[in-house]
């Protein structure tokens, strides 16, 4: 399994294969009120986000999208989105690769957004924080 970042012209070429995975994640996590797949493409193209591919013999098994979030006292690598199939084939390699990437970007924390089931398959000890939201009538 190869896990690698994809940028620029290569990202645009990979997009037709990646877009359905992004759309699945948007729909599964009810992100449609925040993003469309085209919005994600634009953020990737502008380098606000980074696309990662998990490939086996050039077949895309999964994708991840990361964002580096800068705070006054901290830098956080956010794993914004992950989608794919055959999770056992790529999850540990992806996790280690993203941890190394976060360290290379001088991040002192890596944070993921997703279902709590992720914690069961990853080897590290995690802090879990509650998150609540309320839609407001505007």
Question: What pLDDT score was predicted for residue 138?
Answer: 72
Question: What pLDDT score was predicted for residue 137?
Answer: 75
Q: Which residue in the block uniquely carries the two structure tokens 């877009």?
A: 19
Rounded Cα distance, 60 and 83, in Å:
11
Task: Quote the pTM value.
Answer: 0.87
Q: What average pLDDT does this structure show over 39-50? A: 97
- Per-residue pLDDT tens over the stretch 4-43: 999 999 999 999 999 999 999 999 888 888 999 999 999 9
Question: What pLDDT score was predicted for residue 112?
Answer: 82
Three-state SS for 134?
coil
Q: What average pLDDT does this structure show over 35-53? A: 97
Question: Is pLDDT at 131 greater than 60 in this prediction?
Answer: no
Q: Which two tokens stand for residue 25?
A: 């994640």
Q: What average pLDDT does this structure show over 47-54? A: 97
- Per-residue pLDDT tens over the stretch 63-107: 999 999 999 999 999 999 999 999 889 999 999 999 999 999 999
Question: What pLDDT score was predicted for residue 30?
Answer: 82
Question: What pLDDT score was predicted for residue 106?
Answer: 95
Give me the architecture of the 2-121 domain, per CATH.
3-Layer(aba) Sandwich (3.40)
Helix (H) or strand (E) holding 128: none
Question: Is pLDDT at 133 greater than 60 in this prediction?
Answer: no
Burial 88-110 (b: 16+ CB within 10 A, else e): eebbeebbebbeebbeeeebeeb
């Amino acid at each position: 399994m190869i896990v690698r970042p994809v940028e620029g012209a290569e990202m645009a070429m990979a997009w037709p294969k990646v877009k359905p995975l992004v759309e699945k994640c948007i729909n599964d996590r009810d992100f449609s009120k925040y993003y469309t797949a085209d919005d994600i493409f634009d953020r990737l193209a502008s380098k606000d986000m980074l696309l990662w591919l998990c490939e086996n013999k050039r077949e895309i098994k999964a994708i991840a999208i990361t964002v580096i979030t800068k705070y006054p006292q901290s830098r956080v690598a956010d794993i914004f989105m992950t989608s794919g199939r055959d999770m056992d084939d790529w999850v540990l390699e992806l996790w280690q690769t993203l941890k190394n990437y976060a360290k290379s970007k001088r991040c002192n924390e890596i944070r993921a957004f997703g279902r709590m089931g992720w914690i069961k398959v990853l080897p590290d000890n995690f802090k879990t924080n509650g998150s609540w939201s309320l839609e407001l009538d505007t």
